Chains A and B, each alone.
Chain A
Amino acid sequence: MSTDTIISVKGVSKKFCRSLKRTMLYGMRDVAGDVLGLSQHSDGLRPDEFWALDDVSFEVKRGECLGLIGPNGAGKSTLLKLLNGITLPDKGKIKVAGRIGALLELGAGFHPMLTGRENIHLNAAILGLTREEITEKFDAIVDFSGLQEFIDSPVKHYSSGMYVRLGFAIAAHANPDVFLVDEALAVGDILFQSKCYAKLREFRDRGITIIFVTHSLDLVMTHCGRAILLGKGNVIGNGTPKVVVDQYNKMITEGETKNDVPLGNRAVVVDPSSPSKDIEWNGLFNVNPNEDRYGTKKVEILEAGIFTISDLPAQILERNQEYFIKVKVRHNDQMPGPIVAYVIKDAKGTILCGTNTSYQDMDMGWMSAGDVIVVTFRQTLRLNPGEYMLCVGSAAYEEGEYVVYDRRYDYMSFRVFSDEPRAGIFDAESAIEWCRIH
């Protein structure tokens, strides 16, 4: 281990058991074996066990900010627990040269009946601070938490935001050499969040090593110098954030479509002059199995999708490119053409943009039962990088009343990427000029 390596992980594996009953059985057996000094065959799997981490190796240099990404169940949290020494690996070796601090759960160990002041003393002692260190930092902790007025009330009267603020304030003052952060920051109000990120940046600038587990690829791109992608317990990618994040995006889409051919390269035979009218889109996209669907089905949405200008299906989109958002509907009755709509929502459910055929005065004439049409929205995508939901719907006014025929909220997700940074949720396409006036 060279001197500037602060963490070295070599061939580390950790197994878990799916069944609770067997967990108890194995637990008792292993514990008895540990105590009696029996040899343990920890490198094999017993029934119902699986490798949560399988032969993971990597190194972290002093002062690095490492992003750890991967889908749920990839083993990120397990890895953090191993790095923190809370639990031991079943195979392999982890070396840590320094004091590890963790933000795995903010306010873990707070006692609801104790006041904020008492909890600061206790929690800081748990995190390994000496009495002198605590006395020295007490005011800074209270200041950072912004809870001066409430410091002598029992924390059970705190809001969850206040609770977390105090937890972060204590953890941030524990002076670690390595800081493990597990998405715990996605709480509290926006001001406090920004304060937390500022604190993390300050840590990074002071040369404290940070390992950051998150689902927010944005954060990895902006804060981290390197990223590691975990998937099913293995290190799949390890490199610059941009490369690894791309790899992650690719992995997600492949995993969901259960197909090894990357979407962008899929050969779809479509005559560009008749945009994807006749083929089944089913299978081109990984649609959300948990969509929220309701309506009378008088006009049924058969499927929807996003296509590039050259009519290739796409679920990872580039900002400021033009796309076709297509909605295929079947009329189950004789009727005038319905209103067909799409909206795009963010992960929190806020509607970001959208339109429909009625807003834009599309008149589709009279339809007979069995008619299938495709409505194509030609759309330049202005949204900034992130994950979004496509929602589609059909409806009409029947005798002055708005009737929903088929509404499919969260029909499918898609991701947007871009090389150029912009603030906010969309690219306002600003033009910048300057001139000297003195």
Chain B
Amino acid sequence: MENTIYSGQLSTQGSKPDESKFVEVEYTSRGIRRDGLAGWRLMVRELVGSRRLIWLLILRDISVRYRQSIFGYGWAIIPQIATVATFAFLHASRVLPIGDTRIAYVAYALWGISVWQLFAGCLSNCTTSLVSSGSLVTRVNFPREALVIAAVGQPVFDFFIRFVPVIAVFVWYGVAPSWGVLFMPLVLLPVILLALGLGFVLSIANLIIRDVVNALGMALTIGMFLTPVLYPAPVRWPFFLINFLNPLSPLLTTSQDLIAGGYVTRPEMFVAAYIFSLAVALGGWRAFRITIPRVAPYA
């Protein structure tokens, strides 16, 4: 037994030691802080090197999530339908004066909440990604951004599942989306990037101070009402200011525009939000890479 294992062993590894491939690494307190462009190159190289790992982590999260559950993937949909049903009731009964929407309210709310859930899910999943990996972060050296990036996979997957009720409702209410929906992926990408960028920063903060994840839960609840998810974007002064301060608002509004009319109401806001999201994603990534060696022992 012992012998067969060893012969198998040696034959597979016999050709290995190859002196030329030794890379020299240097560790000092500086890290990649002042490395500028070289730092970015290193980050890109690590990211490219870990794309398979990211993919495996995403597959793991998706396949594991509902292995021991009856409703399974239904749980991606059930809470969302419950929320929309509540607000549809409040809307219909005029308890809450919700302004008129360009498409049927239920369709509007269902779409809005799907996009919001995509953002909120990505953000909270990214934030807890490091803490929930525990000893992996403290004991193994590997590109740990993979954990944060892979945390986006699950909410994105859930988003696709939510398409089922969204399509059903659109058909039921006879909402025929315009051709503009073909551009939807381009509009949703910055939503994910914004969440990822913030998630990079918050995952680090959460390693140091565990309050972050609790505070985030609260912030997301408030944030949902500060974003035109369940009501149309306010147009009166001073309330419309919120559309300028909340980078998610123009992204969400644009996605709703694509469905309803095919024209974008405020393209300049959308472009600004797009650039902002991109900057947040890159800045968050860089901040993450600089600080991870310092905070890894906190996990």
For residue A193, which residues in chain B have a CB less than 8 angstroms away from its CB? none
In the assembled complex, the Cα of A139 lies from the Cα of B27 at a distance in Å of 35
A27 within 8 A of B: yes
Decide: A125 and B56 in contact? CB cutoff 8 A: yes
Main secondary structure, interface of A, reads mixed
Is the beta-carbon distance between B140 and A127 smaller than 8 angstroms? yes
Q: Are B8 and A139 in contact (CB under 8 A)?
A: yes
Q: Is the CB of A144 within 8 A of B64?
A: no
B116 to chain A minimum Cβ distance, whole angstroms, is: 28
Instruction: For B140, give its contact among A98, A104, A144 (CB under 8 Å).
Output: A104
The reply to whether the CB of A122 lies closer than 8 angstroms to some CB of chain B is yes
| A102 with B52, Cβ < 8 A, contacts A31-B204, A95-B24 known | no
> In the complex, what distance in Å separates the CA atom of A24 from the CA atom of B211?
11
Q: What chain A residues lie within 8 Å of B136 (beta carbons)?
A: 108-109, 126
The chain B residue sitting closest to A38, CB to CB, is B33
Contacts of A254 in B (CB 8 A): none
* Residue numbers in B under 8 Å from A98 (CB-CB): 22-23
Complex CA–CA separation, A90 to B297 (angstroms): 14
Residue of B13, B49, B139 with most chain A CB atoms under a 10 A cut-off: B139
Q: Digit string of A23-35 for contact with B (CB within 8 Å is 1, else 0)?
A: 1100110110011
Min C-beta distance of B149 to chain A, whole Å: 14
Q: Which residue of B lies closest to A109 (CB)?
A: B136
Contact B139 A108 (CB under 8 A): yes
Check A100 against B9 for contact (C-beta < 8 Å): no
Given contacts A96-B25, A144-B9, contact A109 B135 (CB under 8 A): yes
Q: Is the CB of A92 within 8 A of B28?
A: yes
Cα separation A111 to B56 with both chains bound (whole Å): 12
For the side of the interface on A, what is the size category?
A: 35 or more
Whether the pair A126, B29 counts as a contact (CB closer than 8 A) is no
Report the Cα distance A62→B6, complex, angstroms: 23
**CB-based contact B60/A111 at 8 Å:** yes
In the complex the two chains form, is A34's CB within 8 Å of B31's CB? yes
B15–chain A nearest beta-carbon distance, Å: 11
Q: Is the CB of B24 within 8 A of A88?
A: no
Of B72-80, B164-172, B285-293, the segment with at least 4 beta carbons within 8 Å of chain A is B285-293
Q: Judge whether B100 is part of the interface by a CB distance below 8 angstroms.
A: no
Do the beta carbons of B208 and A108 come within 8 Å of each other? no
Q: Which of A77-85, A230-238, A353-361, A429-437 is near enough to bind chain B? A: A77-85
Evaluate contact between B140 and A102: CB separation under 8 angstroms. yes
Residues in B whose Cβ lies below 8 Å from that of A87: 293-294, 296-297
A105 → B minimal CB distance (Å): 4
Asked whether A40 and B9 contact (CB < 8 A) given A108-B139, A109-B140, the answer is: no
Task: Please name all residues of chain A whose beta carbon is closer than 8 Å to the beta carbon of B208 when the two chains form the complex.
Answer: 23-24, 27-28, 31
* B141 with A122: CB separation less than 8 A: no
Query: Which A residues are in CB contact (< 8 Å) with B5?
Result: 140, 143-144
Give, as a whole number of angstroms, the nearest-CB distance from B97 to chain A. 43
Cβ of B298 under 8 Å from chain A = yes
Q: Is A161 an interface residue (CB 8 A)?
A: no
Question: In this assembly, does B67 line the interface, its C-beta being within 8 Å of a C-beta of chain A?
Answer: yes
Q: Is A206 an interface position by the 8 A CB rule?
A: yes
Asked whether, in the complex, the Cβ of B138 is within 8 Å of the Cβ of A86, the reply is: yes
Q: Counting CB contacts under 8 A, is A410 at the interface? A: no
B283 to chain A, nearest CB (A): 9
Contacting chain B: which of A129-137, A302-310, A399-407? A129-137
Cα–Cα, bound, A89→B294 (Å): 9
Determine if B106 is an interface residue (Cβ-Cβ < 8 Å).
Answer: no
List the 8 closest A-B pairs by CB distance, nearest first: A109-B136, A27-B208, A94-B27, A105-B139, A125-B53, A88-B293, A108-B135, A104-B139
- Return 11 A-B CB contacts under 8 Å, by A number: A24-B209, A88-B294, A93-B28, A94-B27, A99-B23, A108-B139, A114-B60, A122-B53, A126-B142, A128-B142, A177-B17
